[in-house]
A and B are shown apart, each in its own frame.
Chain A
Amino acid sequence: MKTFPVEKRKTILDDDQVLIKKIRKGNKAAFEELMRKYNRKIFNFIIRMVRNDEVAVELTQDFFIKIYTVIDKYNFEYKFTTWAYRICYNLVIDHIRKNQMQMESLDGDAVSQKEIISSENYVKDDGFRILSDEEVKNHLWKLVDGIPLKFKEVILLRYIQELKYEEIADISGLPVGTVKNRIFKAKEILKQEIEKDGMLK
Chain B
Amino acid sequence: MECLNEERIQDYLEGTLNAMEARLIRDHLLACPGCNARHKTDLKINRHLQHPPLLNPPDSIIASVLRTLYPGTSFYFSIIALIAASFAFLVTWIYIYFDFSNSSLIQALKLTSKSTSGWIANLIKVVSSVFSMIYASFKAIHSFVSYLLRIDFGPEIVRGVVLALSMIFLYSLIHLFSRKFKEKRK
> Shortest Cβ distance from B38 into chain A, in angstroms?
9
Size of the A side of the interface (Cβ < 8 Å), in residues, is 40
A200–B53 touching, CB < 8 Å: no
Q: Is the interface of B mostly helix, strand, loop or mixed?
A: helix
Residues of chain B in range 40-98 having any CB-CB distance to chain A below 8 Å: 41-42, 44-46, 48-58, 60-62, 64-66, 68-70
* B54 touching A44, Cβ below 8 Å: yes
Q: Which of B45, B50, B53, B183 contacts A194 (CB 8 A)?
A: B45
Q: Specify which chain B residues have a CB less than 8 angstroms from the CB of A28 in the assembled complex.
A: 66, 70
Partner pick for B68 among A65, A133, A184, CB 8 A cutoff:
A65
Count chain B residues whose beta carbon lies closer than 8 angstroms to a beta carbon of A.
31
The smallest C-beta distance from A186 to any residue of chain B, in angstroms, reads: 9
Inter-chain contacts of B62 with A (CB < 8 A): 32, 35-36, 39, 64
A140 touches B54 (CB 8 A): no
Q: 7 A-B pairs, CB-CB below 8 angstroms?
A: A35-B61, A40-B56, A40-B57, A61-B65, A140-B48, A141-B53, A165-B16
Question: 10 other contacts beyond A35-B61, A194-B45, with CB at 8 A cut-off?
Answer: A40-B56, A41-B54, A57-B60, A61-B61, A61-B65, A65-B68, A133-B48, A136-B48, A165-B16, A187-B45
Q: Which residues of B contact A (CB under 8 A)?
A: 6-7, 10, 16, 41-42, 44-46, 48-58, 60-62, 64-66, 68-70, 179, 183
